[in-house]
Structure 1
Amino acid sequence: MKIFVPAVGQEENIGDIILRRPLLDWLRESGDLHVYLGHCDTAYETALGLSPSDRVYRSFARWYIALLASAVRRRRMAYAFKPGEIQMTLSGMKEHIAVLPVTAVMRMRRHPIVRVGAGTRDFNRFFAAILRLGSRLTPGARWRDTGTAAALKGATMPDLAFAEGATEEEMQDEGPRDLVVVSMRGDRPADHGPLVAATKRFAATQGYDVVVVSQVLRDNALAESLAHLLDAEVQTFGENEHSSQEQRVRGTYRRAAVVVSDRLHVLIAAVTEGASLVGIQSDGSKKLERHFQAAGVQAECLALDSAEEAENVLLEQLEIQRDRRRIFVDGVVRARSNLADVRQGVLTTCRG
């Protein structure tokens, strides 16, 4: 069975790797993968864990022609939509627009279509109409956040990145957790003064060391700046270090008492290594909250609107959330149980 799936993403972003890798592993159990990767670098491809048996396409046109040719035939094939965030732009909607006629043909031919683990933070009227039409052609879609599920009248599921990380026993290990970890977006203007002040106070009173990490290449400059302000160790993302940086930061999360970040997949990677979390939401976004609600993980996601109050609010939450580690572990276990059901649904769909 041929299974067509795009796996392109932000090559310098570990989050895009850890949310795509589980779906590729699931699909591989049902057939031969035909993966569109574009002209990504070798490090990104390696980190996805592709198998030598997977057929990789650099040209979108060649991949699309092979997909369309398979769709019109009666032999067994399937299509899986790319998981992750759907950007409501022409570039971000390219997959959904291009494969709309293909999915219509596939529905007529009764070929399986898988749509799991995606979501969007906004709904442009034109692109949302295309997405709703595509969703009607793919019944059984599962969305990774409550907002997208409500808008598209579908079911929720945990983000696929919850499938990876430490085992339940490893997460429950009561071994030393002597770090506070900070990781913030470097592509948005923000006042990090309250974060720096609260983290310093918390680490000093509790006897923790502070580490600043970057899971995204463009966050490096801010990570270095924050590390200087916090007098902390910094772990930046070097060129072509996707797999090694992922392992490095996961090792850091396994030592973390609490991780504070405004990046979704920093928080997911951290909690799946047994750390407690404090999420920071900016620009009025409820992205973090919506995704953790869908996963069934009770994470505190703060909107630090008032600079005067932000330091004390954050300090209080660092103290509270640090002591909720067992609750976070239980949440991850529930999320993985849910994902096991999603995986079984994917396998059932593909195998008809």
Structure 2
Amino acid sequence: MDVEHVVPADQSRAPAEEELLDVVRRAVAHLGREPRRPIRGFQALEDPQSAHPTTVVARRARPVPFARQHAMMRLTGHAIVADSRTAYSSGNWTEYRRSTRRPVPRREPVTFVSATGPEKNLGDAVIRRQVVRWAAAGGGPLVAYVGVSSRDWERSLGLDDRFTVLRSKSSIGRWIWLVSTSPRRSRLFFEPGEVPLGAGNVKRELVFLLLTILLRLRGGEVVRPPRAIRVSSRSPLAVHRLACRLSTIVLWREARSREAAGVGEVVPDIGFAEDVRPGRPAPDRDTLVISMRGDRPAPSASWLAHVKELVATTGLRALVVSQVTDDIDRGSEIAAALEAEQQAWEPGDLVAHEELLRATYDRSALVVSDRLHVLILASLSGAVPIELVDTPAWKVAANFDTIGFARVSFASDGSSATSRALLDQVGRGDELVDRVAAAHATLAHRWPELDVPSPREIGGS
């Protein structure tokens, strides 16, 4: 193509046109081929010596801002140079549209985790931290809803600047919206622990059912970590059962809840996924830890008598501790009644207090408590658990039955049989270590990328 004949011969070339022709020469040389039809909306100026009209210069009826034309050039890679009235192009309109039609990027799957809980309860922080680790193991963006909480609570859960954290009750609507509009193959992790299914929980269960359906329809996963059904009414339980059937992974920490739900697998409480600590050798363990709930009646006289006898017979040092701030006052009462020492806790630093407690459990031979996660954390350090209460509930015994360690719950009835049973616990340290190691291994199938438990490997899908 002869670019000298692009402009009709009857027109004299002004200096501006000479400059434009120079641009066209460079564009044609660069592309190595002749430009074709004009961009739609431009009037072609044809080469008079060519048998077939060849458009290089086109004039537009309405001015086109240079910035827009320059943007076209950058987007398409075509040679487009113009003032407000003319434009040069090496391609036609179809090619321009095709080259600028950028593919819609596929949104990256997001992992959502619910991690609300009373920040005054160290046991709740421990089990939620494990779920956060499971959720983060898959990589990618993670959005955690923590409700009303402090940064200390978030730090104890391992939530840092890598994750998006939604705080306050007012953000629950945003969290639900993000889950319901999430990209394909996103994941949702529910909280571990007890699931209240009383009559007032129908609306909440319906919302969770809807989220489960929406995620599953988009190829996502819904993971329900080891949980237990607390109090159930007919309607909430029916909705919850349906949601469980639609979920990818459903885990229960004891058999009774599995029977109520009708679906899922029974595995150890997720607290057993915490690190197993060797602690001191059995002969060097010198402490008997006591931790009782503050939201129940004070221990009876027979309870105090059993504990005093156990301390006197074993020669262990009694130490009162608390894993929940509401238990501190009750601990003071028990320490005064037993003339025992109480471990101080200034609420505010859960991480430091957890390490202090676990160091205490490392040197303890026995732990007496009516809190499940006090007994679980202590057993991870090799301290033999004892639930001693006036009327034992099924909760503690059922969870230790799951790991195969029976006979942990005793009624403080003042009988000699109970006293003998309590003393027998002292010699069960080796049995406990084996059972805890097996429970930890059940929960410790690893995802290779982060070396953390894989819920898919635990429960199947």
Same fold (TM over 0.5): yes
* Correspondence 1:272 to 2:380: yes
Question: What is the CA distance between 1:173 and its match in structure 2?
Answer: 3.5
Aligned with 1:181: secondary structure?
A: strand
The CA deviation string for residues 231-286 of structure 1, in whole angstroms up to 9 with x for no partner, is 11112442213122211211111111111111100000100011011123565620
Counterpart pick for 2:244 among 135, 140, 150: 135
Question: What is the CA distance between 1:146 and its match in structure 2?
Answer: 1.5
Alpha-carbon distance in 2 for matches of 1:179, 1:336: 24
* Correspondence 1:315 to 2:315: no
Question: What is the CA distance between 1:52 and its match in structure 2?
Answer: 2.0
Question: What is the CA distance between 1:349 and its match in structure 2?
Answer: 9.2
Compared with structure 1, are the counterparts of its residues 226 and 314 closer, same or farther at alpha carbon in structure 2 (3 Å cutoff)? farther
1:11 — aligned with what?
Answer: 119
Assess if the C-alpha contact under 8 Å between 2:289 and 2:321 holds in 1: yes
* Correspondence 1:245 to 2:319: no
2:336 — aligned with what?
Answer: 228
Question: What is the CA distance between 1:91 and its match in structure 2?
Answer: 6.8
Compared with structure 1, are the counterparts of its residues 237 and 345 closer, same or farther at alpha carbon in structure 2 (3 Å cutoff)? same
> Which runs of 5 or more residues in structure 2 are unaligned?
1-108, 447-452
TM-score by length of 2: 0.69
Compared with structure 1, are the counterparts of its residues 94 and 213 closer, same or farther at alpha carbon in structure 2 (3 Å cutoff)? farther
> Which runs of 5 or more residues in structure 1 are unaligned?
none
Within a 5 Å distance, the mapping from 1:1-352 to structure 2 comes to: 1-31=109-139, 32-58=141-167, 59-70=171-182, 73-74=183-184, 76-89=185-198, 96-153=205-262, 154-167=264-277, 170-171=278-279, 173-174=281-282, 176-280=284-388, 285-304=393-412, 307-309=413-415, 312-341=416-445, 343-346=453-456
RMSD of Structure 2 on Structure 1 (CA): 2.4
Alpha-carbon distance in 2 for matches of 1:57, 1:282: 42
Question: What is the CA distance between 1:131 and its match in structure 2?
Answer: 1.3
Question: What is the CA distance between 1:139 and its match in structure 2?
Answer: 4.5
Question: What is the CA distance between 1:151 and its match in structure 2?
Answer: 1.3
Assess if the C-alpha contact under 8 Å between 2:400 and 2:408 holds in 1: no
Pick the structure with more helix per residue. Answer: 1
Compared with structure 1, are the counterparts of its residues 200 and 177 closer, same or farther at alpha carbon in structure 2 (3 Å cutoff)? same
Assess if the C-alpha contact under 8 Å between 1:21 and 1:49 holds in 2: yes
Compared with structure 1, are the counterparts of its residues 190 and 231 closer, same or farther at alpha carbon in structure 2 (3 Å cutoff)? closer
Alpha-carbon distance in 2 for matches of 1:107, 1:3: 13
Alpha-carbon distance in 2 for matches of 1:217, 1:67: 33
Q: Larger Cα Rg: Structure 1 or Structure 2?
A: 2
Question: What is the CA distance between 1:92 and its match in structure 2?
Answer: 6.2
Alpha-carbon distance in 2 for matches of 1:9, 1:295: 25
Question: What is the CA distance between 1:171 and its match in structure 2?
Answer: 4.7
Question: What is the CA distance between 1:42 and its match in structure 2?
Answer: 1.9
Aligned with 1:66: secondary structure?
A: helix
Compared with structure 1, are the counterparts of its residues 30 and 317 closer, same or farther at alpha carbon in structure 2 (3 Å cutoff)? same
Alpha-carbon distance in 1 for matches of 2:363, 2:164: 38
Alpha-carbon distance in 2 for matches of 1:299, 1:49: 34
Instruction: Detail structure 1 runs of 4+ shifted over 4 Å in the superposition.
Output: 90-95, 281-284, 347-350
TM-score by length of 1: 0.90
Aligned with 1:128: secondary structure?
A: helix
Question: What is the CA distance between 1:64 and its match in structure 2?
Answer: 1.3
Aligned with 1:141: secondary structure?
A: strand
The CA deviation string for residues 134-169 of structure 1, in whole angstroms up to 9 with x for no partner, is 1111143111111101211231011111111434xx
Question: What is the CA distance between 1:94 and its match in structure 2?
Answer: 6.6
2:64 — aligned with what?
Answer: none
Alpha-carbon distance in 2 for matches of 1:175, 1:42: 40
Question: What is the CA distance between 1:95 and its match in structure 2?
Answer: 5.2
Alpha-carbon distance in 2 for matches of 1:264, 1:34: 29
The CA deviation string for residues 166-210 of structure 1, in whole angstroms up to 9 with x for no partner, is 34xx15844611011111111011443222212212212322110
Compared with structure 1, are the counterparts of its residues 7 and 255 closer, same or farther at alpha carbon in structure 2 (3 Å cutoff)? same
Residue 148 of structure 1 aligns to which amino acid in structure 2?
S
Assess if the C-alpha contact under 8 Å between 1:296 and 1:334 holds in 2: no
Question: What is the CA distance between 1:319 and its match in structure 2?
Answer: 1.1
Assess if the C-alpha contact under 8 Å between 1:149 and 1:156 holds in 2: yes
Alpha-carbon distance in 2 for matches of 1:91, 1:236: 38
Residue 180 of structure 1 aligns to which amino acid in structure 2?
L
Which structure is higher in RCO with an 8 Å CA cutoff and minimum separation 6? 1
Percent of aligned positions that are identical: 33
Aligned with 2:196: secondary structure?
A: coil
